[in-house]
Amino acid sequence: MSNPSILILPGDGIGPEVMAEVRKIIDWFGAKRDLAFDVSEDLVGGAAYDKHGVPLADETMAKAQEVDAVLLGAVGGPKYDVLDFSVKPERGLLRLRKEMDLFANLRPAQCFDALADFSSLKKDVVAGLDIMIVRELTSGVYFGEPRGIFNEGNERVGINTQRYTESEIERVARAAFELAMRRNKKLCSMEKANVMESGILWREVVTRVGQDYPEVELSHMYADNGAMQLVRAPKQFDVIVTDNLFGDILSDCAAMLTGSLGMLPSASLGAPMENGRPKAMYEPVHGSAPDIAGQGKANPIACILSFAMALRYSFDQGDEATRLETAIEKVLADGVRTADLMGPEGGVPVSTSEMGDKIVAALDASL
């Protein structure tokens, strides 16, 4: 039987630096846990534009469709701001999501005990936080038609359309219920059914899907109230499911509860392939951070945790994912800190590469 396959797309800015640390972790699992992967690498974003004139070459897109999982670093940077919208680095990312049909975006917000003081909220509000936001990723207002900027009388009007079909809502809802079954069997669905017809349909479909999961406690909440509740009492939630626009906003809100974007992974999942694994892409939440690129200041933990999500959701290696997450927690508990994690209490300052080495050492110690 062949090894599971991974396509690495480091991208721009700090993407190549943090992805280099993921390669160390992948190599460790192959050498120490007999868990080998067939790894290939290609270009996306600005790096792809510089070589091919497009943010994602057709050949790279074809590779992404064939592998078991894609690991992506980050895309973009100020040097590409002058490009036409159609070839901006971010279009490569959006093409991957759309053509792979990655409809369910999983954004965990977990607050490690060693970093609870980094949140802008009180420590007792966020300590032990572990929630998952499931965002619909391929429909809604970001993709609905009509859209554009049009002339209307003597002025221009910008139009975007919020559009959802029942099947689009059902499949992301089912993904969220399945995830809730693997966690604490508690799911909150967020929309704006009080003012939006798409929200009414969303609530109806999620409720109907919930009948297939009687063990899951389902609740509904308006998304604006959900934003308020996330900063008031976030630990009331376990899994949250919501649409593309609200998911974009709410997941960023939840991200900052943990104190650092450098700690936050994500997974984007699609329909199962012939081998039963879902099409999947894993990436850190943070951007390309061009201001610190090449300086060894970037925090690789979000990218490494994204690989942990791949172990769990693409490769059925939940125990090994937990091993990696525990190693990271141990390193943080020991006070090891990249620049973004250096607070008033200080710590042991390390570079991007040194943080990767510390995590590998903690993995060795776990054996």
Q: Is 87 annotated as a binding residue?
A: yes
Q: Is 294 annotated as a binding residue?
A: yes
Q: Which contacts of 61-67 are long-range, i.e. CB under 8 A and separated by 24 or more positions?
A: 61/95, 61/96, 61/99, 63/7, 64/7, 64/9, 64/96, 64/100, 64/281, 65/99, 65/100, 65/279, 66/5, 67/5, 67/6, 67/7, 67/40
Residue 264's Cβ-count burial label (10 Å; 0-12, 13-18, 19+) is: buried
Q: Is 79 annotated as a binding residue?
A: yes
Q: Is 364 annotated as a binding residue?
A: no
Alpha-carbon dihedral of residues 262, 264, 269, 274, nearest 10 degrees? Answer: 70
Q: Is 297 annotated as a binding residue?
A: yes
Q: Is 83 annotated as a binding residue?
A: yes
Q: Is 292 annotated as a binding residue?
A: yes
Q: Is 34 annotated as a binding residue?
A: no
Phi first, then psi: what are they for 219, rounded to 5°?
A: -130, 160
Side-chain-side CA neighbours of 127 within 13 Å: the count stands at 6
Q: Is 252 annotated as a binding residue?
A: yes
Beta bridge partners of 265: 284
Quickly list DSSP for 113-159: GGGGGGSSS-HHHHTT-EEEEEEE-SSGGGTEEEEEEEEETTEEEEE
Q: Is 167 annotated as a binding residue?
A: no
Paired tokens of 267: 């997974």
Q: Is 14 annotated as a binding residue?
A: no
Q: Is 10 annotated as a binding residue?
A: no
- Which residues are known to be catalytic? 142, 192, 224, 248, 252
Q: Is 58 annotated as a binding residue?
A: no
Phi and psi based region of residue 128 (left: phi greater than 0; alpha: psi -120 to 50; beta: remaining): left
Please enumerate, by residue number, every residue annotated as part of a binding site for substrate. 97, 107, 135, 224
Please enumerate, by residue number, every residue annotated as part of a binding site for Mg(2+). 224, 248, 252
Please enumerate, by residue number, every residue annotated as part of a binding site. 77-90, 97, 107, 135, 224, 248, 252, 287-299
Please enumerate, by residue number, every residue annotated as part of a binding site for NAD(+). 77-90, 287-299
